[in-house]
Structures are given as C-alpha cells and as structure tokens.
Chain A
C-alpha cells in the first residue's frame, strides 16, 4: 500500500505544471520534478545533491529564503514577489510556496518548495499597463482611454486636429503621439508657440522670408511651415493670435501654399496641421475674438484633454512613470513614493496639471537620491497646504473626517456609481458600502449606474 501511495505521489509530482523540489537539512536537493527541470532549465541529474541556492537562483535565496523561514518556524510560507535567473540570464517571475518535509513518522527530514512560472501573468500585467499608455501619455481614466482608442484612426487621416485643454495637460505630447502614429512619422514634427511671438515675428518665423524683405533680412530664411513639409506642424496657443494673423493663416491652410515675406512665388505645402489651445475657441468665436472661418477650418477633429484634477486616479501611474524616466535620465535610484507623500500629491488640485506634477517629482529628485520619495522632499508649499487642511479641519475626529471627504469626492467624481467608486479607491464594493454606512455618509437618490440605462 505504501509503495502504491509512493508511486502515485511520484506520478502526480511528475505530471503537475508547478515545479517542486525537496531539500535535506544541509539545503541539498533531494528531488526535483519534471516541471522544475522545465522552468529552471536544469536537469534532475545536475540538480540533485547540489545546494538549492545554486540551482533555484532566486532573488530571495540570500536574505528572504521562504524555505529557511519554514524550517525555522515550522510554518508554510507563500511569496509572490520573486524571480529566478536561468542559465540564459533570463529573469523568470515566480510565485513560491514552502512547507516542511516529514517522513511517515512525522519527523522533519527537510523542506519542500513549490514554484510556479508567472511569466505569462507578468506579460499580461505589462500588456494591461501598455494599454494605459499612448506615446508618452499615460492614463487609466476612461476619458483618456477613449481618446487613446480613436487616436490611431485620427493619426492615419490627414485631417486638421484641434487639441483643447488647460495648460500642462499634455497638448504637445498628444500632437507628437498623433504624428508618431501617422504615416508622416519619418518626417519632421515642428511645434511653434503662436502666443509667444508678436505678429510680425510670428509671420516671419512661420512663413519665412526672402533676403531684403525687411531691414536686417540679409539672407533667405525658410519658415517653419516649409521646414515641416511632408511632416506635421503644431500651432500651439492658436487662440492667442491676432485677427490679422488668423486671416493669413487661414489662407495658407486653404491654399496649402505659403508665400514667404518678400517672395513673389508661393511654395507648395504638404503638411498635417494640428492646432492647440487652452482657451475656449467656440466662446471666442461667439465673442468675435477668433475668426469663425479659421475655427471651422481647424476644428475638423477635436480632442479635449481633461485636467489632472478630473483624472486623479492617474496620479500614482504618472508618478511611477516620472520616477522611472527620471531614474534613467538622472542616473538615480529612486524606488518609488511612500504612501504619505502620495497622499499629499493626491490631495492637491493641480492648477498646472501634469506639468506641475512632473515638476514636483523633479523637485523631489533634486533632494532625494535613493529610496522612496518622502513628504520632506516635496515642495514645502504642498506639504504646508496639506498641513493647513488638517489644521483647518474643525472636526474632533480628523481621520474620520478625512475618510468621509475622500469617499465623498470619489463618489461625486463617479456620479455616485458605487462600483466605480470602490474600484477607484482600491477597495471592494462591500467594504465601500460598509464604510458609507459606518461613517453616516448621506447619498443622493441617484445611482451612477442608472445613467447608463
């Protein structure tokens, strides 16, 4: 019967997809199943009798060995944040489960380690993260992801695009993403800030000029429109241009030709035009401060970028992204952000939008060289504001009051859809219901879900 059960155990161990090995008290491998051979790339013959750390080669071996903890404490352990390195130098993400190995009399004769190749799970996780990204823009918010979805189609067309959004929402990044996804990606992308230059300078910059066109014009200068030929031009802050410039620009856009100052012959243009503004052009048209014909000429496809305060769920993702990119650029080793510092960032309303958040991380990088970003390396105005909010809170239970405030904010943001609110807060729906009940949060008689019906 014992032999039968032993055989059955061996057959089971050989047929499962989890790697299993056992070690004796000297940490030498006693058995190594087929899946373990497959995952590690090491044959059973080579593994048996060798020290487990030279075979398993996990990042946990040296300091956080789960098997060692099991042997010391007599308990099973599970670890999900581990990887092994195979002989082809490839990191294989794994999950690990350890337990004691006992003989038929219950005597401990070693330990058992079961491990699972998590590469596929990690790959899917990465794909999910990639779906939050388009060019250099990142968002898990529905509004931005809807834009990401249609962006490839917009890019493939040659239509003029109008990008509207507050300052710092990433209008230029959006324009670049459109260019990089378009058939013109191998050709120039030129961004020009129309609001930064007076009319005459803007015209000569954009249209170019011929030698002698005006005093000091000693030689020909190609305009940005010609330089962007075959590519894309971003006309940023188009809402800040004068009516007379708007007329000239409209003519260029309609004729697809440009006349440099002082020239007699028009130059043909083949460019994709993207216009961007932080102003409400429709309102400006109604107020006669922006030409209606130009508005309709540039407003073929409109993209509205939401301000950061309307996509607060993106802050952790953006912070991670900025930390990773700055680590590469600055050669630093910042590992992340601690929860208190992240809480301070989440409480801010970002009038400067993503650019402001990026600058905050830049500030933290100057003061912090490794480890997590902590509140003391954030700009003092932010931490002061956060302290003032706490001090101003008249509630005798500031923690409870803060929790109510956060839940109410997210409920409102999600139009009182409890499921979406729970997801944004990273808690289960039933936990949210319990908290709403416990904290006595009054809800309006609407439910965000009803909006969809």
Chain B
C-alpha cells in the first residue's frame, strides 16, 4: 500500500494546503519500503488529485486541511487521514503496524470520532 505524508523537516506539515514536500512509502506486511520524496504544490487544486494519482498514492496522512482540498482527495478515492501532527517516523511506524493514529497524533481541537476525520 502506498502511503503519502506531507512533511516539513522531521514532522508533518501543519497545513496540507501550503505543504511543499510529499514523503511516499510502500507498506507491506507492516514493513516500510521504498521511501521517496517528491516536490508538491497542493495550492494548485486543479492538478492535486492528478499528481497524487500519478504517484499511485492510496492513503494520505496530513495535518490541517481545507474542505476544498479534502473533498477533492476523498472524491478521487484516496483514503485521507487529516489533522495529524507530530514526528513523521513515529507516525508512519505506528500506521504500518496497523495501530490507530488518533488520539496520540491528533492535532488539538480535533476529535477522533469527528465526522470530518
């Protein structure tokens, strides 16, 4: 499964809409493989899903995201896990093991059972 994370140094970009770098990993049998980095401009909404689709992304983990972007991504059948914050390595490892990211990595003010998540 191809999982993408919008990153800023060692952490998740706080705002997806203004992120610049995408980290993509393959997760197979709880193992993280094929780590790659891609330059990314989500502010250009028109190309957003095309770019993610081209990279074969199936799951996207990101920080705060606006409704326009989240609707576009969800409509393209990519699983979106928004409002996640913290260290990228810890988050990917947790996800690869099949453990839930919420509430540990959930941004303040967000609830794991919120319908927007």
Given the complex of chains A and B, what is the CA–CA distance between A327 and B86 in angstroms?
Answer: 34
Binds A, one of B26-34, B39-47, B53-61, B92-100: B39-47
Q: Quick check: A85 and B15 within 8 Å, CB to CB?
A: yes
Partner of B66, one of A46, A54, A89, A327: A89
Residues in A whose Cβ lies below 8 Å from that of B19: 62
State whether A53 and B108 are in contact (beta carbons under 8 Å apart), knowing that A89-B65, A91-B66 are contacts in the complex. Answer: no
State whether A331 and B47 are in contact (beta carbons under 8 Å apart), knowing that A54-B107, A62-B20 are contacts in the complex. Answer: yes
Q: Quick check: B83 and A90 within 8 Å, CB to CB?
A: no
Given the complex of chains A and B, what is the CA–CA distance between A167 and B78 in angstroms?
Answer: 47
Q: Quick check: B8 and A46 within 8 Å, CB to CB?
A: no
Bitwise interface map of B from 86 to 117 toward A, beta carbon under 8 Å scored 1, else 0: 10000000000000000000011111001010
Interface flag for A87 (CB, 8 Å): yes
Given the complex of chains A and B, what is the CA–CA distance between A163 and B82 in angstroms?
Answer: 52
> What is the number of residues of chain A that contact chain B, defined by CB distance less than 8 Å?
34
Query: Which residues in chain B, 56-84, are within 8 Å of chain A measured between CB atoms?
Result: 63-67, 70, 82-83
Q: Quick check: A89 and B109 within 8 Å, CB to CB?
A: no
State whether A88 and B66 are in contact (beta carbons under 8 Å apart), knowing that A55-B108, A331-B46, A332-B46 are contacts in the complex. Answer: no
State whether A41 and B70 are in contact (beta carbons under 8 Å apart), knowing that A57-B63, A62-B15, A333-B47 are contacts in the complex. Answer: no
Given the complex of chains A and B, what is the CA–CA distance between A59 and B43 in angstroms?
Answer: 10
State whether A54 and B50 are in contact (beta carbons under 8 Å apart), knowing that A59-B18, A88-B116, A89-B65 are contacts in the complex. Answer: no
B contacts, CB < 8 Å to A:
8, 13-15, 17-20, 41, 43-44, 46-47, 50, 63-67, 70, 82-83, 85-86, 107-111, 114, 116
A contacts, CB < 8 Å to B:
40-43, 46-47, 50-51, 53-63, 84-91, 327-328, 330-333, 370
User: Can you list 22 residue pairs at the A/B interface with Cβ under 8 Å?
Assistant: A41-B109, A42-B109, A47-B108, A47-B109, A50-B108, A54-B14, A54-B107, A55-B107, A55-B109, A57-B107, A59-B15, A61-B14, A85-B66, A86-B109, A87-B83, A87-B109, A87-B114, A89-B64, A89-B66, A89-B67, A331-B46, A332-B46
